[in-house]
Structures are given as structure tokens and as C-alpha cells.
Structure 1
């Protein structure tokens, strides 16, 4: 068992290779023919099928044979020599093969087809009929009557093994679909795309249908789960042992030629674990709540969430509509009153307190509509005096001196500026910088020259004052140059910078 659990699965390698499109088309054809009970296929009929697809118009028998051999090596196909049409020794030596898809490949293709049908989102549904089907089959399985000694006599144990196995399989198929479909459907309602649609006005059209669908599921779940829980709790453990033994005996009796026969005790243990899983799903274990109660709570929370979305949309639409009719109706109320005192009382009821005071706390109340302020513990609010002279107490803090850190940063900054100034001085020749004469420049020099070009072209006289203190004038030359740096090459127009004056000159910057 451990070897099967941890071994590599070479049969899945064809799903992610360079030739995956060809492999998948071939194995999908094998899968479709397998479902039609055609297990062995000849290369000629595979090639005829592939030629019907646009991708395989130039695909030949040699290409197909190479792909079939590759799939045999990947353990996706089993070759079998065809000896039905052999008329000579030469034909026998040529070994004409038929091919059959391996069991792993069939299951992989079945899974891939299911994933394609699933798409990018969750599927599932809340099928209330699955609870009834599970309940009915469980009743048939555990039904019993007292014998002469007063001991329970289970009817199902009097049936043949194949009938017991069929009833067991149908019951657990309902159980599996019930859990998977409900989980997928509730996950579908929590996806980001669905929640975005729930916040639109179009959701109001489907709100009642969604709510009714979920409420019917909760009602059916409560009714059926309580009955199933009672049946499972009253089942005799000796019956479970006898049932597991009969099921294991039936499965062990199925003839197989692909290995050693299964151990009946291991098979019986597997069936006991399945029964235990069914029991714990409805009863819980180790003090934990049962799964059906969790499913009920999750469905109820989903109903609340749908209601909140619909309520927010309704409030948004209500604010968008005019209140003219409402105010006219209120005006008629006031017009029917006989005194100003009654008008004040009606105003207090309709519009509330004239100057209400609101108290706020830092407590989070959440979005649960069933919980009110009375369900939460009291919060402590610190009230500050309203006098102007009130000041909160503060402790004196020491004043730290950062002179050493500041001096160190200043020295590092000056060293960097001096290094950059020296880089610029190195490329100046006869008070000129010619880009075509530069071989390899530092990235800082390239950035500096590009900055000078931008500032000079923006100046009316094509001049600027550089950070180094030099005043430079820009002149365009013919051709283009390549500036080489350690991080790459840059092609640009050829320019020449002329140094007009040295650092320290007091000429104004235009």
C-alpha cells in the first residue's frame, strides 16, 4: 500500500510535454472507443480519426507510430500483436499490433473530461432527493426484526452477497454525491465573481429563488439527517462486523489476473472505516460537531449573506428614488392634527430627536443581522473634560543628540559627490566632451550626460549649469553614437559639450 501511495505516476506524463496536443488527441479517441466497449484499436483507424481534425492534416503513419511507441513507454497504451490476418511468416515477423489504453489512462481521461466540463468555477447543487435516497437505502440496510430469543435478525444478511454489495454501493454513492455537490455549490456562491454579481441590481430578480432553494435544502436536511442519525445510533456493532465481512467476501470473490488476490481482512477493515465515516458525519466525534450541522450552519449563513446583499441593494435603490410621495403623505398627517403640541409629538416620532447625541466605541459588532447591541458586553469609554485648559498628561522624554550620525552621513555624501566629480573630470578633453570619443562610460556618467542634454535643449541658448559647477553648452554633431556601459549599450545622437567656465564662476544661470 505504501509503495502505491508514494510511487511516481508515469501515466500522467503525457499531459505536460512538448507533444501533449498529439498525445491527448490519440488517448481521447481511445477513451471514447473504450466507453463504446471497443478496447483494441488498429493504427489505421486511429490515423483516419486524426485526419478529421484540422491540426493533423499533414500527419502520417510514421508520425503516429512514433507517438504510439512513446505512449507505450509512458505506460498509457498496451500493445498486442494481431495474428488474425497473418498469411505468411513475413507477416508474422512484421508484428502488426493493436493497442489498448491502460486502466490508469482511462481514469485520467475521465477526470480530464470532468475538469473540462467543470470550467473555471465550482459546480455542484443542493439536491434534496439525495437525502431521501440515502435514508431509504439505509432503512433497507439496517431493517431488522426480533427472533424467538429476542435478538435482532437483520433482513439484509439473509440476501445474497451481490445484492448486499449493490445496496451498499448505492447508499454510499448517494452519501458521496450529497457531500461533494453541497460543498461545491456553497463554494460556488462564495467565489469573487458570484459575489460581484450579487451586488448588482440584477441579483434582486433571482434573490427569492436562491433563498427558497437554500431554505428548502435546510428543511430537508434537518428532517432527513435527524432520522439518519437515529438509525445509525441504534445499529448493533455486531451487524456492522457481519456486514463488512459479507462485503469483503463478495469483493474478494471477483476474479482478477493483475496481481495477488486482496486480503479479505483488509477489505473488511476498509468497509468498517467507511461505516465509521458515515456515522461520524451525522454524529460527530471526539466532542466535535457533526458535519451535517456544519453544513446546515454554512447554508444558513449563506442565506443571511444573500439577504444582506439584497437589503443593501434595496437601500441603495431607495435613496436613488424621490421621496415626494412620502413627504406628501406625511404632510396630510400633519394637516389632520388639531394642535401644535400634537404636531411636535408626531415630528418626534417621524423625524426623531432634533439634536441626537451619538456614542461610539471601538468594539466591532460584525455583520450578523441576528445579533443586537444587547448581546454584547458593555464597553468602557474614557470621557475627556470639555474645558479648554485640559491637557493630557505626558511624560518628559530625553533629547537625544544625533550629531555623530549626522556628521557620518555628511562625510559619506561629500565623498560620493567628490567621486562623481572626478568621474566627470576624466571625460573632459580640452574643455570639451565629445560623445563619439567616449569608449566605456560609468552608468552615472551616462545618466549625467542625458540630464545635461535635456536641460540644455530646454534652455534658449543650449546652456546649463551642471552639478559639478561647470557651465556647459550643447552642440549637435552628425551621425549617431553608441554609449557602452556595464549594463548595456545605448544608441543616441552625437553631441558635443563645451565647457564655458569653471566651477566657482558667478555668471548667472539663464
Structure 2
């Protein structure tokens, strides 16, 4: 036998520590191994059979100690445990001839338990839709934008920023994937109690709606920041700086290869991040797909609630109806009762268009007609001419008129036009002719002031310690604000119908990007 053949022949022995998963008494073996893992966590070196017997839960614990000993011996045979002679309690010569062992985990058994623990954790993980991770991604992308301002960005800071961004994004993607998987199992009512589902369905729907709203709001901002980094061309510099930092400890002869591998690794991570929030090459972004799945999960959950409500109301399927009918047939005492049950169950009673009232039913009870009576010899049945002709008593009324919704559409159009006009007026009011002081904006109406606060908040969100100037864009990309700090000066006041807004005075320039190419204050 060659070495290769011998290796292949011995290959199954490598997986013998997992043999206890495919035999009888798997639950007992798992709990025995669990007892050894817990003992190791408490720094216990070995266990005796009576220790294992006491540590087992009641539902799997054998009645006799011999059952535990047999399980331990099988685990020793499979390589999960190691048995050593127990000489600590030998007090007589006869004790040397008794089968006494102490047991401890082998390296293979410990590795198998770690693998099974990871497997159980991955399957049982429910995940989460981390809206806070979206805010962290925005913060890290803005930190990268700040680093691009330097011609030679610091490799250490760049690597830390990119590593924090990648870690946060990986956590977001993994948790979202796990959550959507657990949500689908919940919708399918797998591994979930109906009472628990009905109890937390409202909170789950609110949780989905809140995440969808955050994903819509912050997803666009993240996409815009990614485009700014890519269009400036500085992201390549940052990726190469991070790759150089990562490959700094490589051996001299492998430095170039390590740098190339590190750069390919970081470039792939960046492409994955961009594909999550940007639609490219005809493929929808993962954020859009996740939003679609989350939106689709809400009506699916409502459908599950409706199904559970029908179950609780006593509705049953056809097979349950037939089983109940068979039970009723079995409980009847004579053929006459069975005939009545048959007619009632399957509609084999006088047709609805025949004139049947209480008097005719009483007459039939008094003088029943045998089933063997021929049609010609049976008493006549009175049929209403109206029902004979139309099949129904009531006359059909006029169809409902089609409702005219022109007035409602006109009202909605007026409201939309009014809102658009107010927004346009607010934007026109805020646009400055070059750079002005914040205190020179004057009095603002509520719509203009609300838009101003949004722009000011976007600008201050990008402000970092030591900065004197910043540029930010509104969420919809229609306006741009440029804010510069002043060394000294009085406080700025902006009057509104609701009160006065006060704060440190700044130089400010607000530009409407929808009017075409914009120029900075230096160009005016």
C-alpha cells in the first residue's frame, strides 16, 4: 500500500470524534461532552464517572452509573476522551484489579466541541438590522474624506479608518443576513411559538419600518460619500497607504508581493462596500435589495397573523372537515339519521328555488315520503314562477355609479404644487450671493428656517477639531453649504416667527446646485 493510499484509508479516522452525532443516544453523548467542556472552563483536569453522572441533566441522565461508564468508553473509542487508571483511591491490592478510570478531553475531542459550538451558534443566531451601524459608516467615510485633504495621508490613521469602516460594514452585512434568515423562519412559523409570534409582531413590524426609514435616509448619504471619494481619485491613495501599512512587517523579499496582495484585499473590500450602496453594471445595490426584502416581510407577517387568527377562530381545512364528518357518521344510530346527515353535509336537500316553509316541513315530518317513491307518485312541489325564471327572489338593482375623483386629484395636485412652491421659495431665500456673515441672513420664515437648520446640521456634522472650513451637501443633493469659522466677532442672530436663533458668527455661502455649475466665493 502506498503512502497516498494509506493516507486516504486513514482519512475517516480524522473525523471519528464526530461519530457520536450519528449513532443512538446522541443526546447523552453531547451532554457528556458538554460536562467535560464546562469542567475545563472551571480548570478541572479530569472527571470520574460519578462526577459526569452528577453533571448530566435529568432528562438524559441514566438511572445507573454503568450507563455513563459505557458512554465514556465509547467516547474514548472514538477519540473524544482519554482514559487513565484511577489510582488515587486505591487502598487495597484488590483495587488494582478493578476497572477504575479517570477521563479527560483529548485535543481532537476539544476541537470537535469547539466546531459544534460554532455550528450551533451560527444556526441559532438571529442577527439584527443595525441602524446605528449606518451612522458609524457615514462617520468613517467622512473621516476618510478628511484624510484625502492631505497630499500624503498618514498610513497609520488611514489603516485604522479603513479597518474600522470594514469591520463595521462586515458586522452590518453579517447581522442583516442572519436577521433576514431568522425573519423568514419566523414568517414560515419554523422554530417559533405562535403565542410568542403574536406577542411581538407589532414591535417587529415597527423595528422593520424604523430600519427601512434609516436605510433610505442614510443609504443615499453613504452612496454620495462613496462617489465623492471615487470621483476625486483619492481613494486609490488611501487604499495603497493602508496596504503598505499592512505589509510593513513582511520579509524584504516578499514585501512587494505582500503589498500587492494587501492592496487587492482592500480594493475588493471597497468594491464590496460600494456595491452594497450603489447600483452598477445593471445589478441593484444590496441596500436596495435588503430594503425590498424588509418591505416584503411586513405584508408576509400580516398574512401570517391572519392565518393564525383564522386558526384561533376555529377554521379548519378540508381534511379536518371530512374527519369530523366521518366521526359524526360513526356516532349516528340508524340509517335515517345517516341519510339526514348526508343531505345536510352535501346539500342534498330540496333546492333553494322551491317553495319550502315551516308548514311544508311539518307536513313532510307528519307524512314522510320514502326514498323509494317514484317521481310520478310523489306529491307535487310548488315552484315560484319568479324563482323558476330568474333563480332568485330579489331583483337586481342598478350598478353603483363610478365615483368621480377629479376633485380629490385636483386637491392633491394643489397641495403638491403649494409644497413645491414653498420649498423653491425657501431655497431661493437661502441662496447667498457669494460669502456672507451668518448674522446677515436676516429674518427667515418657518420653511426657510427649517431648510437652513438641515443645511447647518449637515455642515456641522463634518466639522472636526482644528478645522476652519467645511463643505457639505443636502441629503437630496440639491444644495451646498460652505461654512468658515471667524476668529472673533459678535454672536449671530437669526429672527424667526417662533423666536430668535443665536450662535457664533461664521462666514457662510449657500449654493443651489440645481441651477447648473457652481463656483466658490473666490471665483466671484
TM-score normalised to structure 2 length: 0.41
- Which structure dedicates a bigger proportion of its chain to helix? 2
Rg larger for: 1
